[in-house]
Structure 1
């Protein structure tokens, strides 16, 4: 394993191999087998209609791998990959797998601070970037960064590298006749995902060929993927959720077809669903709201769509109940993390299980503890922190020994920071995050709980609850809501009456209401409660009265809105 990574203990790794979870398969070699099996079947489809067969993808990866190696990219060296949702992303990653180099996934929305951090932390020797995405020139951004990153010797551009003598090379110009390459070992790090924290720059999560091949294989089976599967990649492909839950890799491993959407809006996705007869996709609650709003007005045929996975953040019961009847699909709830553990509802679960839980772990080897503040396990039905370890859950972040000391128990369980309860039948119900709590006069208010009740109001599309400083109580509760644009905005007294009628204690009722057009999102496209809390603090300091329903703009949902937790963080 790379220096700076924490391996599984040898006896644990051997147990996973003996059980058949880890089969010694590298991702690059797996693609070669898929190409032999599925040949001229279409593997990838761009939003512009470009089609790539399995055989063509295999050759494309071989030619790019030869080009990367010819440019001096060596096994175990890190390469930042920042590409939009296109077939090129898949080709670049699998080409680097065959070289034995290690992609570091960087979202297209990342700018200088994030790219500088990732390049320095990873020691990247090269970058793969687009030319422009939605009018933003990534070449200019990287040109400005290169003087600060002397270890980044090469930059490859998907598209036009532009003029100049700055060493930017067109990705297409790399391709050359395939050559024999040593390749990696299955226990090596295949790529780095990024953590979904909202308060700091992302940490790097090493995923090995062994563990990710297992994750995608087991989840593809749970999702019943096959050659008839047509998967729409809506979320940024750098996320765990669309990449491998089972996502792109799971679909390719079963002979299906992946269609790439450049953004998650109904205006973009609904025509692609109709044109390509899409059967499955993975989205986050924010996108679900957009699609539900548009579904009744669309003229597009969505009848092929069979399964919609929803993850990232809590899907409240009232919203979950709308998905199947209004979109005409089967809902699959997903909870998880780029660090590893995934829980899915099953396609044959009872409706009540699908609507109200986040499912069961996907692997029989997933170990879960739900614990109190002293790490003592709590009974089923009691809320506690989720701890986990297993054959696809990391044992440590990359080059982060101090953080690892607090993020893992002495026996290797990862402290997720998620508050959950386990049902008697083994399903996980996510209740929030440990830090997602308002302490109001000593009473603890779960933001997630209050948000779920707020979305029961017919005029509330989305809700986010944050703490607001108060000189007497310490903190008060500020509720931000995105209201239904077709009706009157809800008022604070109205929402307080609703929550009281639903049985909430008075100390849990919002003290302030702010109605906004949309929510600000973090770099990993989670609702940025840090921004909302800062705004609430400003309002509290200004002594402004409680919001009365006037619509304000708190931030925009970017076109590439993606996911954090829920298998996609």
Structure 2
């Protein structure tokens, strides 16, 4: 083991979930191998190179695992993986699981500084990276960092392109004879993967997950969205290397024996083409991506044909407003699942039932709908409670407090960050999310906002999430993020960063103010700055980049009447 990864949950509690059948109690490669034996010719991956069946994928996995083992990589070693979505990323995931090693995937969009921090903190002994992807030479960049990373022994370059001198070509490892390979049998409650938080407002956190937490807890989440035992066909619009994407190899393939439909880079055109060509049962993405796809459908017009309806759109990573949910339900002809979750270890989601008829979008939101409803907590995935942020004591139903979570998907610990363990985990193993919410009389979870995400204007607190929710109902707004901007007079002012829907004139602050008045939002919460954008900047994980928006909004002029 190259870095200490300990379990912050009581061992008896962790074991009880396996005994109760909530976790499969097998390592990820063993689960995948059982699926391959049961249905050897089922399609495992569809990517830019075409279709790959379970048997062909398993051979690649065994070749790579034996090749990595020849480099001295084994049980407990952490290996970084910076690859675009495709069969290469899936092969690396499973090969590392077969060795009992720990995968540290991070999206190709991560820069050198963040990559160095991740590899250093996890004491990674190797990293697999793209030789070239969309003009970026990731393998060469990571090789240049190697002298500053004492634990890093190998940089493995994945094609296409010529592997830089000093790296090991992945193609060579994939030609290793797998005949003598014997997979490891790691502890199912031991570390399998390190999830990396989005890092949209701070340095990304690394969170260690076990085989059981991935295939069990996170696997139960996807199982709840499957109407029968038919293996799912999942189109991932988000990177497999993101926390959201961890439901790919470990869950879709190993746990459920399904098919992954993958794009090496998201565009609305490519995503719609994949829906038409491969008829996925589940489309997983962030709301911004779905809004872009809906806008593209509008441009195509009725002559473009009907999309094959998925079982569900599963949207997470950012708040889902009712206007987007309604439009997506109509545009894709299927239920929309609102997923509330994070790398830290929380999950709650709405189901695949049909939504009720939408109310008038111009009507003020009733008091009972404070926050966003994200479903009924599922203890097979993660039990959720509301606690006092200061005392950590449970609060009664209806009271707003910090959302805390514990269950089969709960991670082991933060990686090389005892200060994060102390801040975000309780002695009983509960995950402190830093989010505010409450459980209503029906047991539904409402997420109100972030514990610390408050803009303080002249001593008055403003929740950006609340303002975003109301602005999202404006018919001319496609995307909106609200951020606080420092101000010498008021301390902070609220800025609305807006992407306009369609090609008409953009709404100005007076129009947005009138809209918010009609929605019943207090005047002191209205944004005073407006930043119009062609598209929201996104993090490598596909979430809105609030840090970048805050910096850009700070340059916007303050109106004279503000």
Q: Matches of residues 396-415 of structure 1 in structure 2 within 5 Å?
A: 396-415=413-432
Contact 1:274 1:300 in 2 (8 A): no
Deviations 1:256-293 (A, max 9, x none): 32111122222111112212222221110110110110
Distance 1:349 1:424, change over 3 A: farther
Q: Matches of residues 29-428 of structure 1 in structure 2 within 5 Å?
A: 29-48=30-49, 50-160=50-160, 162=162, 165-174=165-174, 175-178=176-179, 179-224=181-226, 226-227=229-230, 229-244=232-247, 249-251=251-253, 253-298=255-300, 299=304, 301-348=306-353, 350-351=355-356, 357-364=373-380, 366-374=382-390, 375-428=392-445
Structure 1: unaligned runs, 5 residues or longer: 548-569
Tell me the distance in 2 between the aligned counterparts of 1:14 and 1:220.
Answer: 22
Contact 1:205 1:394 in 2 (8 A): yes
SS at match of 2:413: coil
Tell me the distance in 1 between the aligned counterparts of 2:222 and 2:325.
Answer: 23
SS at match of 2:299: coil
Tell me the TM-score normalized by structure 1. 0.89
Contact 2:434 2:451 in 1 (8 A): yes
Distance 1:414 1:163, change over 3 A: closer
Contact 1:420 1:429 in 2 (8 A): yes
Tell me the distance in 1 between the aligned counterparts of 2:163 and 2:427.
Answer: 54
Tell me the distance in 1 between the aligned counterparts of 2:547 and 2:511.
Answer: 26
Q: Matches of residues 505-516 of structure 1 in structure 2 within 5 Å?
A: 505-516=522-533
Tell me the distance in 1 between the aligned counterparts of 2:393 and 2:528.
Answer: 34
C-alpha displacement of 1:230: 2.2
C-alpha displacement of 1:203: 1.9
Tell me the distance in 1 between the aligned counterparts of 2:15 and 2:268.
Answer: 47
SS at match of 2:339: strand
Contact 1:218 1:362 in 2 (8 A): no
Distance 1:309 1:528, change over 3 A: same
Distance 1:539 1:115, change over 3 A: same
- How many residues are paired up? 543
Q: Partner residue of 2:11?
A: 10
Distance 1:373 1:153, change over 3 A: closer
Q: Partner residue of 1:466?
A: 483
Distance 1:152 1:230, change over 3 A: same
Deviations 1:23-45 (A, max 9, x none): 42000100110001111111111
C-alpha displacement of 1:207: 0.7
Q: Partner residue of 1:567?
A: none
Deviations 1:12-32 (A, max 9, x none): 223223322234200010011
C-alpha displacement of 1:382: 3.7
C-alpha displacement of 1:380: 3.2
Tell me the distance in 2 between the aligned counterparts of 1:317 and 1:163.
Answer: 48
Is 1:520–2:537 an aligned residue pair? Answer: yes
Contact 2:191 2:412 in 1 (8 A): no
Deviations 1:323-377 (A, max 9, x none): 1112222211111112222112111365379996211223347332223443344
Distance 1:34 1:320, change over 3 A: same
Contact 2:157 2:163 in 1 (8 A): no
C-alpha displacement of 1:148: 2.1
Deviations 1:413-464 (A, max 9, x none): 2110112222222222222222221112222111111111111111111111
Distance 1:163 1:506, change over 3 A: closer
C-alpha displacement of 1:199: 3.5
C-alpha displacement of 1:318: 1.8
Distance 1:378 1:501, change over 3 A: farther
Q: Partner residue of 1:537?
A: 554
Structure 2: unaligned runs, 5 residues or longer: 360-368
Distance 1:253 1:14, change over 3 A: closer
Tell me the distance in 1 between the aligned counterparts of 2:258 and 2:381.
Answer: 27
SS at match of 1:351: coil
Distance 1:251 1:76, change over 3 A: closer
C-alpha displacement of 1:311: 0.9
Deviations 1:86-132 (A, max 9, x none): 01111111111111111111110112101111111111111111121
Tell me the distance in 2 between the aligned counterparts of 1:448 and 1:172.
Answer: 49
Runs of 4+ in structure 1 deviating by more than 6 angstroms, as ranges, are 352-355
Contact 1:230 1:258 in 2 (8 A): yes
SS at match of 1:162: coil
Tell me the distance in 2 between the aligned counterparts of 1:353 and 1:94.
Answer: 43
C-alpha displacement of 1:161: 6.2
SS at match of 1:361: coil
Distance 1:75 1:438, change over 3 A: same
C-alpha displacement of 1:201: 2.4
Q: Partner residue of 1:563?
A: none
Contact 1:441 1:473 in 2 (8 A): yes
The range that moved more, 350-359 or 65-74, is 350-359
SS at match of 2:108: coil
SS at match of 2:314: strand
The range that moved more, 74-83 or 274-283, is 274-283
Q: Partner residue of 2:363?
A: none
C-alpha displacement of 1:72: 1.2
Tell me the distance in 1 between the aligned counterparts of 2:231 and 2:14.
Answer: 35
C-alpha displacement of 1:151: 2.6
Name the Cα RMSD after superposition. 2.5
C-alpha displacement of 1:251: 4.9
SS at match of 1:346: coil
